[in-house]
Amino acid sequence: MNVSNNEKLSIYHGLASTVSTTAVNGYIPLFAISVLGATNEQMGLITSLPSIVAMLALIPGALWLNKAKSKKNFAVISTLATRLMFMLILFIPFVDQPYSASLLVFLIAALNFPGALSGLSWQTLIGDLIPEKRRGDFFSTRNRWVTIAAMAVTFGTGFFLQQFAKDDAFPYQILFVIGFVFALVEVYYLYKHQDSPAVVTKTENPLQKRKFSMDVFRHKPFLSFLVCAVLFNIGAQMAWSLFSIYHIRDVGATALWFSFFSVTNQLAQIISVKWWAKAADKHGNIMILFIAAAGMATAPILTMLSTNLYYLTALNFWIGLFVSGTNLLLFNQLLKATPEVNRAGYLANYQFILSIIGFIAPQFGVYLLGQVGMFSAMAICSVIRLIAGCSFLLVALKFERKQKPVEIM
């Protein structure tokens, strides 16, 4: 197995995947509200329902993945199925508006069944293909190139959409077609990876047969990480729908301003991702993760300080500095906290629990919006994120203070 070739192919795969999804994904809220007339409740469902579907997919998914002769082929098939279903959104504007928003909610939820399998299989595959000592440098490099691509695509897409009326579905349909073309390129590079064939030994650990067993929670590094990650995702996902509703309805942001938000955020990620990798290498992955998570806690409350579009654009640069660290370090810490034996089982349990959070948290965020208003709802999100950041610090002090600084993965 050629590690350097797999790394190169993974970067190409990431670039194609980014173009495919970024061309439309970032504008789904604008498409839902401005074109299809989605309600607050439907916006909450667009965020939360996919998590329930993903949770249902992970129950058989881990078993299918571990029985698969090739994790790569499993990832290829599930990724292609996801992109094919995403392409169907192109036809939603032909449906009458009272039903079109509901159809969008259903379709986005449904495509997360193969999407969850795709994500699980890719995480398991890449964890096997990239050696532990290479992961920190590789993922920071991959994330940087992917973020550059996302930045370029986001700005180009926003400028393109700005040339049309806000309620015009046609430009979105063009973007769906472009996205599907790049999805085929994504699948091609994923298929080109060199996968080691699955080997089942006679001394197989019993955990490998019971993927959704409570036994995985007896592994203390995994359990401690899981508790912190759950807290963080509650605070993070509560605010997802709130940000979209605030930017579109309260601030009046257009597609071009959405692109400015994303581009400045992604630019900050490009600038900072190497620093996070080096800092984690020097001080320990989970200690630096505390700093990144605490920084993320400032996003909701700072957003509420002004409706000025220039201020919000600058704020997205600040947020991006911590997004890059959180994305890199959360994934690295997940791989670090899961043993190589039965890693698919650990990842499946992790994704299963986050899927539950992903359904409940956005709905709770929309509920808070209706009960206490936007400012208080955002403030609560910030507090929960800060608590989650402190939980990472607690883990670092309690479980890792006697260890030498660890290498990132």
Which structure tokens are listed for 369? 């919006």
pLDDT at 377: 94
pLDDT at 196: 65
Lowest mean pLDDT among 22-26, 99-103, 195-199, 380-384: 195-199
pLDDT of 36-72, one tens digit each? 988 888 888 887 888 788 778 877 877 787 777 788 8
Choose between 96 and 242: higher pLDDT.
Answer: 242
Lowest mean pLDDT among 84-98, 147-161, 193-207, 358-372: 193-207
Is the pLDDT at 184 greater than 90, yes or no?
yes
pLDDT at 333: 80
Is the pLDDT at 209 greater than 50, yes or no?
no
pLDDT of 225-245, one tens digit each? 888 888 889 988 888 889 988
d(CA 54, CA 357): 11
pLDDT at 401: 55
3-193+218-399 belongs to which homologous superfamily?
Answer: MFS general substrate transporter like domains (1.20.1250.20)
Is the pLDDT at 304 greater than 90, yes or no?
yes
pLDDT at 207: 39
Q: C-alpha angle 352/299/246, rounded to 5°?
A: 90
d(CA 142, CA 137): 9
Lowest mean pLDDT among 103-117, 163-177, 198-212: 198-212
What does the DSSP 8-state code read for residue 37? -
Q: What contacts 279, CB < 8 A, 6 or more positions away? A: 288
Lowest mean pLDDT among 30-39, 129-138, 199-208, 255-264: 199-208
Is the pLDDT at 202 greater than 50, yes or no?
no
Residue 371 CB coordination number (10 Å): 9
214 contacts 338 by C-beta, under 8 angstroms: no
Is the pLDDT at 372 greater than 50, yes or no?
yes
Rounded to an integer, the average pLDDT of 68-79 is 85
d(CA 5, CA 392): 35
pTM: 0.65
Give residue limits of the domains in the chain: 3-193+218-399
Give how far Cα 87 sits from Cα of 25, 92, 119, 162, Å: 12, 10, 18, 22
Write the burial class of residue 40 (CB in 10 Å: 0-12 exposed, 13-18 middle, 19+ buried): middle
pLDDT at 204: 43
Write the burial class of residue 105 (CB in 10 Å: 0-12 exposed, 13-18 middle, 19+ buried): buried
Which among 263, 350, 357 is positioned nearest to 314, based on CA atoms? 263
pLDDT at 406: 41
Ranked by mean pLDDT, the top range of 89-93, 121-125, 142-146 is 89-93
Rounded to an integer, the average pLDDT of 27-42 is 87
pLDDT of 98-126, one tens digit each? 789 999 999 999 998 998 888 888 877 88
Would you place residue 198 in the very low, low, confident or very high pLDDT band (cuts 50, 70, 90)? low
Is the pLDDT at 408 greater than 50, yes or no?
no
pLDDT at 211: 46
pLDDT of 305-341, one tens digit each? 999 999 999 999 999 999 988 888 888 888 777 777 7
Is the pLDDT at 199 greater than 70, yes or no?
no
